[in-house]
Structure 1
Amino acid sequence: MEVRHKQATIDKLTHENATLKRLKFAAGREHFNAEQRRLLEDTLDADLQAVAWWC
């Protein structure tokens, strides 16, 4: 059970890292309006808090 939990945490962090990289490096190619960026940042913050809670 612990191995599954750790793997789920690794998978979630990998996904979050990929999302953050897309945000950082896509800034020159893609433009988010203020509402889109706020929603994405809110979602990322909630996900990161959830991961921190599990760790």
Structure 2
Amino acid sequence: MGSPMAQNLIKAGSDVTVWNRTKSKCDSLINLGAKYKPSPEEVASSCDVTFAMLADPESAVH
């Protein structure tokens, strides 16, 4: 769900920064122009607005 939403934001010209526990899952977004940060903390500190797409509450604990 998060990847299609991020793709739409990138295609609309938004500045998008991504992170995933498995970095390779971000590769297609990075190839479209997204920036990558190595931790959720770094994403949050570099962005004015954040969205989180998680499978379950346990996924929020990194």
The TM-score normalised by the length of structure 2 is 0.28
Between structures 1 and 2, the one with greater helix share:
1
Larger RCO, structure (CA 8 Å, separation 6 or more): 1
Q: Which has the larger radius of gyration?
A: 1
Between structures 1 and 2, the one with greater strand share:
2
